[in-house]
Structure 1
Amino acid sequence: MKGLKLLVSLVLTAFATAGSLLVVHSVALAKPVENVLSAAELPAQRSPTGEEIKMNCRYPVLSSYAGSYFSYSIDLEYVGGKEPRVFDLKAEVPQGFTYSIYPGYESTEIAAIRIDPNKGYPETIKVTVRPYVWLTPEPGEYTVKVFASSGEVKNSIELKAIVTAKYDMAVEPSTGRFNTEATAGQDNYFKIIVKNTGTAPLEKITFGSSITGSPSGWSITFTPDKIDTLGVGDKREVQVNIKPARKTIAGDYMVTISADTEAKNAFASASIRVTVLVPTIWGWVGVGIIVLVIAGLAVLFMRLGRR
């Protein structure tokens, strides 16, 4: 019978030591995943006096796109004690991530918190986990563990973050200059670069354009007119032919060039200032008309002067 009691005691102690809670809470761009198991508190490690620190949170799983940060809100409740205790706080994060711990409603970073067992309500802390600015994590599931300990009273909580693919792209002139010239009634070529700046391939990219004031008779075409696939970090050069209407008045026009995927999960645009010039032949025609008018006036004055 004594051996049986010892075995039960060892099993209960091992179960209590391994206890953890899967919890996540989010802010900013993150969103909680629906229909997940609610956080259920497992036995914390008790001290010989029956003291324990409970850790709890509402959302067990969080999902957001690569590059964003995750902020977990955790409730800490110290029970079984008579006097306040200071609990050390730390976290274990995946490689490539960093973390900060704050009080629930303050912005000062902390490494410990003083909890009074007689308060009657839990203390709240926020644990913010983010990837390093120069790294973009691969899509997948990541586990974060948060620990609270004060002597023999300790517990931990397990958080899960699901990183999803980020769909994004950029459009910019190949020369880096957002202005060009175009002759009315003629083909004028301008090159742009389309780059995949996300973390997943982009499929079936098509192009469009618009002109401020919507002048009639303009033609803007793209070669190629679509991109079937653009891998992560890849870029493609596209030639744009801007052909203003033949009777377009000389001046500056704003042309917006856009790129969009068929799935509508990524979009980019660039505004280009186009200075429209009149064809040279019309310039000479204008000069000829002016010369003829001056010559006609000169002849008229000469005839009137003789009279």
Structure 2
Amino acid sequence: MSATTTKHQRRMTRTLYLFILLFSNQVWAQAVSKSSPPFTARLMNIEAAANTTFNYNTKLKNVAPVSRVFQLFAGLPAGWNANFKVEGMSVTSVNIDSGRTADITIEIVPTLDTKPGKYEIPVTALVGTDSLKLNLEAVIKGTYGVTLTTPTGKLSEEVTEGSTKELQLVIKNTGTIPLDNLDLSAQNPSQWQLTFAPTKILHLEPGADTTIVATLQVPDKTLAGDYMTNVTIRNNNANAKADFRITVKTSVLTGWLGLVIILIALGAVYFLIRKYGRR
């Protein structure tokens, strides 16, 4: 047998081996993909408001016999944004070893003016000429929104030290979705108290508003001046804050007592001067 014939046989053998290897890998990959899709999501369809972030928890498996780098893409409506995260880090691609699976969080952010409806979001993991597709759905049901103000819009009040002051607060649902279980809270200067009646709004329809009475108690002997008290309205979906400037004035009684003390002091000085000053 000539050397040329031997080389030709070896070449044919290697070619046949590579063909069998590629064919078997392809069959294996197809079998794996049929039994368990390589690109899946825990929730394919999520319903939320337009001013929230849609979070999809997905898994991407590399069924190839070698490590592969997958490029990640999302088809979005105009103005929307997508962010892919692996182990809390934002990525545009992910390297996955053979037979391993990567957990990928896909964050979808719609525009605030997105109309209610169902939106298809095709997601692609691309590697070479191969692509794995995942069809997600985002159902927009409206927007959440709330404001906190007063009937006149004025956020400043005057109060006398040691007294109480009632503040009227107007809470309005500015979104298109009803709001439930809105809680009121306040941050006040030390020893001040601000109570609400009622303390919670159980339900507020879109476009509707309600008035809450807040009673402010300023302690005795509070120094005259300007103070800030912050009121917050919130639930799991919306929140608003109003900063009130409270001007504390000294009471009339305190003023008269101060004047009497000054007059007594001046009288005592005058008496001492008359009695001992000319000796």
Structure 2 length-normalised TM: 0.55
Aligned with 2:223 (options 233, 250, 268) = 250
SS of corresponding position for 1:301: helix
Residue 251 of structure 2 aligns to which amino acid in structure 1?
A: P
Residue correspondences, number:
245
SS of corresponding position for 1:121: coil
Aligned with 2:251 (options 279, 299, 304) = 279
The Cα of 1:276 is off from its aligned counterpart by: 2.7
Matched, 1:130 2:113: no
Q: 1:77/1:289 Cα in 2 relative to 1: closer, same or farther (>3 Å)?
A: closer
Please say if residues 62 and 160 of structure 1, whose CA atoms lie closer than 8 Å, have aligned partners that are also in contact.
Answer: yes
Matched, 1:146 2:123: yes
Which residue number in structure 2 is paired with residue 299 of structure 1? Answer: 271
Please say if residues 79 and 111 of structure 2, whose CA atoms lie closer than 8 Å, have aligned partners that are also in contact.
Answer: no
Please say if residues 41 and 56 of structure 2, whose CA atoms lie closer than 8 Å, have aligned partners that are also in contact.
Answer: no
SS of corresponding position for 2:108: strand
Stretches of structure 1 that go unaligned for 5 or more consecutive residues are 1-48
How do 1:135-284 residues align onto structure 2 when only pairs under 5 Å count? 135=113, 138=116, 143-147=120-124, 156-160=133-137, 169=146, 171=148, 180-185=157-162, 188=165, 190=167, 192-196=169-173, 200-203=177-180, 211-214=188-191, 230-232=204-206, 240=214, 242-244=216-218, 247-251=220-224, 255=229, 257-259=231-233, 272=244, 274-284=246-256
Please say if residues 123 and 133 of structure 2, whose CA atoms lie closer than 8 Å, have aligned partners that are also in contact.
Answer: yes
Q: Percent same amino acid at aligned positions?
A: 21
The Cα of 1:185 is off from its aligned counterpart by: 4.9
2-structure distance, mates of 1:132, 1:197: 18
Q: Greater share of helix residues, 1 or 2?
A: 2
Across the aligned residues of Structure 1 and Structure 2, the Cα RMSD in angstroms comes to 5.2
Aligned with 1:68 (options 34, 40, 53) = 53
* Superposed CA offset, 1:1-33 (max 9, x none): xxxxxxxxxxxxxxxxxxxxxxxxxxxxxxxxx
The Cα of 1:74 is off from its aligned counterpart by: 3.3
Please say if residues 63 and 99 of structure 2, whose CA atoms lie closer than 8 Å, have aligned partners that are also in contact.
Answer: no
The Cα of 1:284 is off from its aligned counterpart by: 3.5
Please say if residues 53 and 107 of structure 2, whose CA atoms lie closer than 8 Å, have aligned partners that are also in contact.
Answer: no
The Cα of 1:298 is off from its aligned counterpart by: 0.9
Please say if residues 41 and 57 of structure 2, whose CA atoms lie closer than 8 Å, have aligned partners that are also in contact.
Answer: no
Q: 1:297/1:120 Cα in 2 relative to 1: closer, same or farther (>3 Å)?
A: closer
Which structure's CA Rg is the greater one?
2
Stretches of structure 2 that go unaligned for 5 or more consecutive residues are 1-25
Residue 60 of structure 2 aligns to which amino acid in structure 1?
A: D
